[in-house]
Amino acid sequence: MKITTDGLVIWESKTGEADRVITILTENGVVTAYAKNSLRPKNKLTSTTSMLCFSNFELFSGANMYTVDDAQTKHRFIRLSSDAESYSLAAYFCELLKLLAPIEDDAGDFLSLMLNSLYLLNEGKKSRALIKSVFEIRIMSLAGYMPARSACSLCNEEANGAGHFDVKGGVFFCESCASGVGKPINVSGAVVAALKHIVGADAAKIFSFDLNESSQKALCAVSEGYVVIHTERRLATLDFYNSLS
């Protein structure tokens, strides 16, 4: 059976002398495909099946995986390849997608999130720290790990000001309740508002806010901790990105 689909290459590994096995994120989920001779310099698949290339793929289904029959480039994020920090952050996003995006099921929101994040990284439209936090919180929400962010978990008052965000429980304590149970204040009102926005905004608007440097640091600590605890993994790509940044 032959299928035609747009997709982003989110992982690649060499097999044999000049072949790749690639992981592609499509609107219909993550698929794995064999790209014969795609590591040969003049092969038609060399660039179109490379990491972070968004292409239109013609795939044939096989017993264990698809085979790439043809691919046409739709977009390449050219500047990422010359920026080690941005590229390593994109690789971290790819590893999260491999872990959390559905396999051969509806993944349109995951693809939209990744393409928007890569565009902003490539163009330098937002800080890496802000892009990283938005991606982390949003992908966890899409994958079924949505944090409770709209009200205090103890008094049930709406979350409008500073307080404590518990990354393990995924719940928020207002400033008064946090003080009463001995939890430190780790998020400002601006960070709380950002968390609410990231989880609840339309896909096209999730990056439409800014934070000052101290608030970005607080949001980064919360979002990264939330990913590490709830995936129960410390991804190698995250450690590498942090070693650069």
Judge whether 187 and 211 are in contact, CB under 8 Å. Answer: no
C-alpha atoms less than 13 angstroms from C-alpha of 73 in its C-beta half-sphere: 14
Take residue 231 and report the two structure tokens written for it: 């995936």
pLDDT at 212: 95
pLDDT value of position 64: 84
Bridge pairing between strands 19-26 and 29-35: antiparallel
Question: What region, left, alpha or beta, does residue 119 occupy, with left being phi > 0 and alpha being psi -120 to 50 degrees?
Answer: alpha
Per-residue pLDDT for 160 more than 90?
A: no
- Distance from C-alpha of 57 to C-alpha of 228, rounded to nearest angstrom: 33
How much is the pTM? 0.95
31: number of Cβ within 10 Å: 21
Nearest to 196 by CA among 127, 134, 139: 134
Whether residue 130 is predicted with pLDDT greater than 90 in this model: the reply is yes
- pLDDT for 97-129, tens place per residue? 999 999 989 999 999 999 999 999 999 989 999
| pLDDT tens per residue across span 23-45 | 999 999 999 999 999 999 889 99
| Distance in angstroms (rounded) separating the CA atoms of residues 2 and 58 | 7
The H-assigned helical ranges of the chain are 84-100, 108-123, 128-142, 175-180, 189-200, 213-231, 236-244
Confidence at residue 185, expressed as pLDDT on a 0 to 100 scale: 96
* Angstrom distance (rounded) from CA 177 to CA 29: 42
Q: Which two tokens stand for residue 117?
A: 């994040």
User: Stretch 19-25: mean pLDDT, rounded?
Assistant: 97
Strand partners, 54: 8, 75
- Which structure tokens are listed for 165? 């965000």
The mean pLDDT of the chain is 95
- Identify the band that residue 1 occupies on the pLDDT scale cut at 50, 70 and 90: confident
**pLDDT tens sequence across 176-235:** 999 999 999 999 999 999 999 999 999 999 999 999 999 999 999 999 999 999 999 999
Q: Which of 211, 212, 217, 181 is nearest to 198 (CA)?
A: 211
